[in-house]
Amino acid sequence: MTFTIPIENGSELKNAEADSQRTLYPYVTGTSVVAIKYKDGILMASDMGGSYGSTLRYKNIERMKAIGKHSLLGASGEISDFQEILRYLDELVLNDNMWDDGNSLGPKEVHNYLTRVMYNRRNKFNPLWNTLVLGGVKNGEKYLGMVSMIGVSFEDNHVATGFGNHLARPILRDEWREDLTFEEGVKLLEKCMRVLLYRDRSAINKLQIAKMTEEGVTVSEPYSLRTFWGFSAFTNPTAGAEGSW
């Protein structure tokens, strides 16, 4: 967005200093992130697709990153804004490390920081077009929270963004429990991602699962899920839904 500034002699000044840049709408976006607490820490899953509008343009985008020693961040929404958030967090972690006082930022502190950043940018009418999931483990305490693009935040035992908030959360409410093993947690996340693959046009069958424990973050290599597309509802998806057209 470019605007002009009038000056005293009635002419107008138009230059790069007067330019104001805004993300008016997202360009390249990632879809759902699903995360749960399990017996030993946090598990998080996302696919690797990046959609340019309705075109699945990129198929190798990592949307989960370790933050410091104790936190794991996942994001859906605009990829370039996610990269900007990662730059903010790199500076935050660097400044924290430079104190060299034996303390380090925990997931709750990072979550609160992200909430302030998102709300601040929203108040400037220049939001970062992301929904963020922040999980971590510090001193034996598991933490999992979410932040929306306007700064709305909460904590829960399981969270999901995008379509996952509508399609994965009901599954998690039914099947999640606090003493899930790693294998059971992965199986539950894969079930959620499979449903999203079937129902979300922006999802792709190439995903990663990240594990956060006291030992740190481990992100799996990309892999695909076994699927079945022979359901009758897929054969004729408009059956029974004919309208006035």
- Token pair recorded at residue 195: 């449903």
Hunting for tokens 């290599």 — which residue is that? Answer: 221
Q: Which of 23, 115, 181, 213 is catalytic?
A: 23
Instruction: Let me know if 2 is a catalytic residue.
Output: no
The β-bridge relationship of strands 158-160 and 130-138 is unpaired
Q: In degrees rounded to 5, what are phi and psi of residue 189?
A: -65, -40
Closest by CA position to 110, among listed 141, 85, 130, 128? 85
Alpha carbon distance 202, 60 (integer Å): 14
Residues catalogued as catalytic: 23
